[in-house]
Structure 1
Amino acid sequence: MAEYNTIRAGQATAGAVRIDEGLRAHMNKVYGTMSVGLLITALAAWAIAGLSVTSAPTPYQIGADEYLTGLGVALYTTPLKWVVMFAPLAMVFGFGAVLNRISAAGAQIYFYVYASLMGLSLSSIFLVFTGMSIAQTFLVTAIAFASLSLYGYTTKRDISGLGAFLIMGLVGLIVASIVNIFLGSPIVHLAISAIGVLIFAGLTAYDTQRLKMDYIQHAHHGDAEWLGKSAIMGALNLYLDFINLFMFLLQFLGNRE
């Protein structure tokens, strides 16, 4: 009987080791995919912003010796700006439906296309803020994100209860942002930015812990395809947390042109 219990204990230990190794590989894939997506977004935004501005005089001057090119005019002053703005939103809302119909490799390509469109949508920040302040804010965001995500991964405290509260806060934030489009209040804008930083800081830790727990719950089933798609969806969630945290921090740390 003692020998049987020893064998069972050894099997349990071996299973735990496999799950732990698989979890590390899974999270590495999540962070790797998210990092590539962020790189694509940054390069796309920088490239489009560069093509949108020229020093040669045109009818659309935006600063000292800075003018919009034909591409810049099309992107920022015509109805095309609404397409650029809402195309990433449409893709992210459709991600769940698409995920059920395509393979994990297809989902990864879909995510990278989405990251490219997001870069196109965010390119205007290079026309509004200085490049140095954008780089500094990105560095601050990266440090804050890494710290929050590490907390979510390592903490023994169950923070799943924060999920509903954070989602409710996010909905309220969206409503307040829409209302302030018409009000144009700098004070409300500042408050929205401050609350946005807090909400996405919380979501970063919450999403990281949820990814970890989801993997542990499904790892026993050995569903490789589900785990692959789960990694892409996790990368998307953390990517959105990072981008939104960055944009809200930019309102405080960014120096305007």
Structure 2
Amino acid sequence: MAEYQNYQKAAQSGVRSDAVIDEGLRAYMIRVYNYMALGIALTAGITLVLANSPALLSTISSMGIVFFIALLAASWFGPKLIYSAKSEGVAHAAYWGYAALWGLAIAPMVVAYLNIAPGIVVQAFAITSVLFGSMSLLGYTTKKNLSGIGQFAVMAMIGLIVVALANVFFFESSLVSVGISAVYVLLISAITAWETQEIKQMYLESDSASVANRKAIFGAFLLYGSFISMFIHILNLLGFMNQE
């Protein structure tokens, strides 16, 4: 999250014009959400392609740990790369590569649910869209500083990831997995609101077109990751409830 602070320092030295900022801010946020939506579409497209190719899906499934490590690396280095990139091309490559990687990583799980109960996937996507949209709208409209809440949620999520890894390798408890997913959804909801507020505050009317676009890609990267993470855990919760 250090990239937030770097962007905020740049914002403090910029010139903001209240007379034109609303129109520019709306255009900027629409660009963020458009990039995010296209990233989700790419992930969904890759998942559907793999769903229709059993042999390829089997190969991808056997590489789960590889994709897990790759996603951790991409989540850490991606925002730094986008922030430091001097060209939009590098920022685009980091973002679209991240979205493609997620598509490969979650395809086995999503396809498994599609084969068992396709409605669960649709329901999970709908719930995620409503929850994510509500929290993002909250972050965009609230006057309250959410940085404290967001930073606490990030720290709590790190602890939760440790618990999740312990459950995978040692306990293998479905009840623990469900509990982790429930808490994760709550934490990622808070983070979504915080991220949206921070992305909004990064906007500067004085930014060049290139800088504004890289900021939009940066914002889309963060929100996309939150949306996909929220979707996965809501899908896990619905899958568990469907077994009852």
Which of 53, 65, 72 is equivalent to 1:89? 72
> Which structure is higher in RCO with an 8 Å CA cutoff and minimum separation 6?
2
1:148 corresponds in structure 2 to 135
Measure how far apart 1:223 and its partner are.
4.2
Contact 1:74 1:81 survives alignment (8 Å): no
Measure how far apart 1:177 and its partner are.
0.6
1:18 corresponds in structure 2 to 20
Q: 1:251 to 1:81 in 2, by over 3 A?
A: closer
Which residue identity does 1:234 align to in structure 2?
Answer: G
Q: 1:244 to 1:220 in 2, by over 3 A?
A: same
Contact 2:79 2:221 survives alignment (8 Å): no
Measure how far apart 1:189 and its partner are.
1.3
1:231 maps onto 2:216 in alignment: yes
1:50 maps onto 2:52 in alignment: yes
Which of 166, 176, 179 is equivalent to 1:188? 176
- Number of residue pairs matched by the alignment: 221
Which of 156, 178, 186 is equivalent to 1:198? 186
> Identity over aligned residues, as a percent?
35
Point out the structure with the larger helix share. 2
1:118 maps onto 2:106 in alignment: no
Which residue identity does 2:175 align to in structure 1?
Answer: I
Contiguous gaps of at least 5 residues in structure 1: 1-13, 53-68
Distance in 2 of aligned mates of 1:168 and 1:92 = 15
Q: 1:213 to 1:193 in 2, by over 3 A?
A: same
Which residue identity does 1:111 align to in structure 2?
Answer: Y
Larger Rg over CA atoms: 1
Secondary structure of the 1:94 match is helix
Distance in 2 of aligned mates of 1:82 and 1:164 = 28
Contact 2:95 2:221 survives alignment (8 Å): yes
Distance in 1 of aligned mates of 2:182 and 2:64 = 27
Measure how far apart 1:221 and its partner are.
4.3
Measure how far apart 1:220 and its partner are.
5.2
Distance in 2 of aligned mates of 1:73 and 1:238 = 29
Distance in 2 of aligned mates of 1:166 and 1:36 = 27
TM-score normalised by the chain length of structure 1: 0.79
Alignment of 1:128-167 (within 5 A): 128-129=112-113, 130-167=117-154
**Cα deviation digits, residues 137-176 of structure 1 (max 9, x gap):** 1011101111111111111222222122111111111111
- Which stretch of structure 1 is more off in the superposition, 91-100 or 200-209? 91-100
2:227 corresponds in structure 1 to 242
Distance in 1 of aligned mates of 2:151 and 2:65 = 31
2:85 corresponds in structure 1 to 101
Contact 1:151 1:205 survives alignment (8 Å): yes
**Cα deviation digits, residues 66-103 of structure 1 (max 9, x gap):** xxx3x2332223xx333233333322322134321341
Which residue identity does 1:94 align to in structure 2?
Answer: F
Distance in 2 of aligned mates of 1:42 and 1:239 = 13
TM-align CA RMSD: 1.9
Which residue identity does 2:173 align to in structure 1?
Answer: S
Q: 1:86 to 1:131 in 2, by over 3 A?
A: farther
Distance in 2 of aligned mates of 1:84 and 1:48 = 15
